[in-house]
Amino acid sequence: MSGPGVSLEVVDLAKSWGAVDVLQDVNFGIEPGGFLTLLGPSGCGKSTILRLVSGLDEVSGGQILIGGKDVARIPAAERNIGMVFQNYALFPHMTIAENITYGLNVRKVPKAEKEKALARVAELMALGKLLDRKPSQLSGGQQQRVALARVLVSDRPLVLMDEPLSNLDAKLRVEIRSEIRSLNKKLGITVVYVTHDQSEALSMSDRVVLMNAGNVSQVGTPQELYDRPANTFAAAFIGTPPMNLLSPEDVRAPATFAPEGGMEARDVIFGVRPESLSLGRAGAEFSATARVESLEYEGKVFLVHLIAPSGTRFIAAHSGDGAPEEGSEVTVGWSASQTHLFSKTDGNRRDFTL
C-alpha cells in the first residue's frame, strides 16, 4: 500500500518538438502528501508536463526533483510514479480483481502480499462486491474507481492524474473529485492532477499552477488565485463567471485614484468580480453605467449581462429581489477593496493608491 508521499520540484523545465517550443521556464513545487493541480486551456502543455515528469517523454531542459533527487534523465521505470489517464483502458476480458492486480503480477509480487493489497484497496474504493465482474458490467464511475484502485495498489508515493474525470457526468465528477481528495489526505500520497476545469482545480488543490501557452501564468493556493490574480489571463480564467475586465472610459473612479509604478490612469484595465457588483449602489467608491442586455437565471442568483457605453460586455451576479429589466440602464457599484488593477501594456497586476 502507498507509503507517505514524496516532494516534487520542477526547475526551469523546457520541452520543444523540433523548432516548436511547447514549454518554457516551468517552475513549481509541492511538498510530500500535497495535492498540486496543473490548470489551463486545452493545448497549454499540461499533459506534456506529466509525460516529462513520468518519463514517457524526454525533457529538452531543466530538472525534475523527486524527493530532492533529479530524475529528469533516468528511465521511467526507475522513477516509481503511478499514473491515471483520461482514457483508463481496463482489460475487458479480465475481472476487476485481475485488472487491479495486473501491475503486481507483472512485478511478480508474491500471492499473499498481492491479495492483502487487493483487499485493502477494494475496501478503500468501495469495490469489494464488484471484484469478480468484468469491466463491461460496471458503470462509468465504478470503472474510474477501478482505474484509481489499480494505481493505488501499486504503492507509489507520487501519482499523476491526467483529466481522469472528464468522461464522467457532472454529478459523478463531483463525487469522485472528493474521493480522490480524501484518498490523497488519508494515504498521504503526493498527487499531481491535470484539469482544464477551474472549479475542479479550486475545490481539490493545495496548490494550483495556472498554465498559459507553455508558460506558467501563476502559482498559488486556490484562494491566492481567486483573490489576487497575477495578470489578466488568470483574472479571466478563474471564477464562475470569471472576473470582468473594464477599460478606464467605462469606470468612474475616485478623483484621488492613481495607479502605482508611473502608469497613466488611461493605461490600466480594471478588474472586478461579477459577485462584487451591486446594482444601483449610489455613492460606491467605483461605479459603471451600463445597459442590461439579458438575464440568466442561475437558481441562487441572476446573472445580469451588461453592455458598457464603449461596447465592453460584463456580468453582475445579482442575488437580491427584483432583477432589472432587459434594455434598462443601470449603475453598478463596488469598493476599492474589490478593485483589481492590471496594466494594459503587459497584462500584469498593479497596485494603486486612493
Ligand X SMILES: Nc1ncnc2c1ncn2[C@@H]1O[C@H](COP(=O)(O)OP(=O)(O)O)[C@@H](O)[C@H]1O
Rounded to the nearest 10°, the torsion over CA 51, 56, 62, 66 is 80
Question: What gap in Å lies between CA 235 and CA 243, rounded to an integer?
Answer: 6
> What residues from 291 to 310 belong to the interface with Mg ion (CB under 5 A)?
none
Contact residue for Mg ion among 2, 37, 47, 144 (CB under 5 A): 47
Residue 80 gets the label, from left (phi > 0), alpha (psi -120 to 50) or beta, of left
Least gap, CB of 50 to Mg ion (angstroms): 8
- 122-129 contacts, C-beta under 8 A, 24 or more apart: 122/97, 122/149, 124/149, 124/152, 124/183, 124/186, 125/149, 125/152, 125/179, 127/96, 127/100
**C-alpha cell of residue 47:** 499533459
Q: Which of 37, 48, 101, 287 binds ligand X (CB under 6 A)?
A: 48
Q: Where are the beta strands (DSSP E) in 102-233?
A: 158-162, 190-195, 207-212, 215-220
Q: At what angle do helices 111-124 and 140-152 cross, to 10 degrees?
A: 130
Task: Using CB under 5 A, count the residues that bind Mg ion.
Answer: 1
Residues whose CB falls within 8 Å of the CB of residue 170, separated by 6 or more in sequence, listed in order? none
| 22 touches ligand X (CB under 6 A) | yes
Q: Which of 34, 37, 46, 251 binds ligand X (CB under 6 A)?
A: 46
| Chosen residue from 3, 4, 43, 128 binding ligand X by CB under 6 A | 43
Residue of 143, 161, 176, 172 lying closest to 53 (CA atoms):
161
Of 4, 17, 87, 249, the residue at the interface with ligand X (CB under 6 A) is 17
User: With CB cut-offs between 5 and 8 Å by kind, which of Mg ion, ligand X, none does residue 62 bind?
Assistant: none
Find the shortest distance in angstroms from Cβ 48 to ligand X.
3
Amino acid at 145: R
Reduced to 3 states (helix: H, G, I; strand: E, B; else coil), residue 121 is: helix
- Which set of grid coordinates corresponds to residue 227? 483573490
Kindly state the smallest distance separating residue 43's Cβ from Mg ion, in Å.
8
Among 10, 36, 44, 100, interactor with ligand X by CB under 6 A: 44
Whichever of 44 and 210 has its CB closer to ligand X, that residue is 44
- The verdict on 109 binding ligand X (CB under 6 A) reads no
Stretch of 39-47, 253-261, 282-290, 315-323 contacting Mg ion, by CB under 5 A: 39-47
Q: Which of 2, 24, 47, 195 binds ligand X (CB under 6 A)?
A: 47
Report the residue from 45, 157, 220, 259 that binds ligand X according to the rule CB under 6 A: 45
17 touches which of ligand X, Mg ion, none (CB within 5 to 8 A by kind)? ligand X
Nearest distance, CB of residue 78 and Mg ion, angstroms: 25
Nearer residue to Mg ion within complex by CB, 47 or 276: 47
Interface ranges with ligand X (CB under 6 A): 17, 22, 40, 42-48
Binding site for Mg ion (CB under 5 A): 47
